[in-house]
């Protein structure tokens, strides 16, 4: 309906602006884009917009006019994500595509330690996590065809240059892990020798 359509239009614009403001991408104008298509077509992927009705943790804390009408029983907000088609990544087989995840035993041990010590437990979520990391590390530049140019307000024939490990790239989880590892160590945390995803501050 028109109400939900407008909320998703705003979500798309917010997502696009966030990518630009974080320096994750830059728009290549049509003339330069044409040269890139002629000389580096193998470095161009497709991209798409992913739209989700995201459930709200506490609907009482948000403006009622921002709640989607398409989900009457579960209050949801419009969420859009710009995603590179990583399955078309020309460097797919030459970049690190794996990233460590915490072991179940480590997670349970952490909960037990928190309980035994009567510590307060905190949870943190990184907004636009992948683009918070470092610059893209590839031998050659990487580009995407923009989806739905009209929605994004982009001129016909333009391209998107990827400057950071955006959503969809196969090495994005690994790059984020490397970025967090460096950040935690700079704060004095030490990774456990039993599980590199468990950081301790002595």
What is the mean pLDDT for each group of 10 consecutive residues in the chain (202 residues)? 91 90 91 94 94 84 83 86 92 87 94 95 81 81 88 87 90 88 95 93 91
**According to the model, what pLDDT value does residue 97 have?**
83
Query: In 3-state terms, what secondary structure has residue 53?
Result: strand
Query: What is the structure's pLDDT at 43?
Result: 95
Q: What beta strand segments (E) does 29-153 contain?
A: 44-45, 47-55, 76-84, 142-144
Q: How far apart are the C-alpha atoms of 202 and 200, rounded to whole Å?
A: 6
Residue-level pLDDT at 62: 78
The confidence score (pLDDT) of residue 126 equals 77
Classify residue 146 as left (phi > 0), alpha (psi -120 to 50) or beta. beta
pTM: 0.80
Under a CB-based contact definition with an 8 Å cutoff, are residues 26 and 131 in contact? no
Determine the Cα angle at 148 with ends 145 and 151, to 5°.
130
Q: Quick one: pLDDT at residue 129?
A: 76
User: Is residue 14 a contact partner of residue 83, using CB atoms and an 8 Å limit?
Assistant: no
């Amino acid at each position: 309906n028109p109400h939900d359509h407008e909320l998703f239009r705003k979500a798309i614009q917010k997502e696009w602006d966030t990518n630009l403001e974080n320096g994750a991408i830059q728009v290549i104008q049509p003339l330069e884009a044409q040269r890139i298509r002629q000389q580096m077509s193998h470095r161009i992927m497709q991209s798409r917009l992913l739209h989700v009705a995201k459930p709200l943790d506490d609907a009482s804390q948000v403006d009622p006019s921002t709640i989607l009408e398409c989900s009457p029983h579960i209050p949801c907000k419009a969420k859009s994500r710009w995603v590179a088609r990583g399955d078309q990544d020309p460097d797919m087989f030459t970049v690190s595509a794996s990233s460590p995840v915490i072991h179940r035993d480590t997670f349970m041990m952490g909960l037990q330690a928190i309980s035994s010590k009567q510590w307060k437990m905190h949870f943190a979520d990184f907004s636009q996590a992948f683009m918070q990391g470092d610059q893209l590390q590839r031998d050659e530049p990487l580009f995407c065809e923009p989806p739905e140019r009209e929605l994004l307000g982009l001129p016909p024939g333009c391209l998107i240059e990827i400057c950071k490990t955006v959503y969809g790239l196969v090495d994005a989880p690994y790059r984020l892990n490397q970025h967090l590892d460096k950040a935690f160590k700079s704060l004095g945390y030490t990774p456990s020798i039993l599980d590199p995803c468990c950081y301790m501050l002595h």
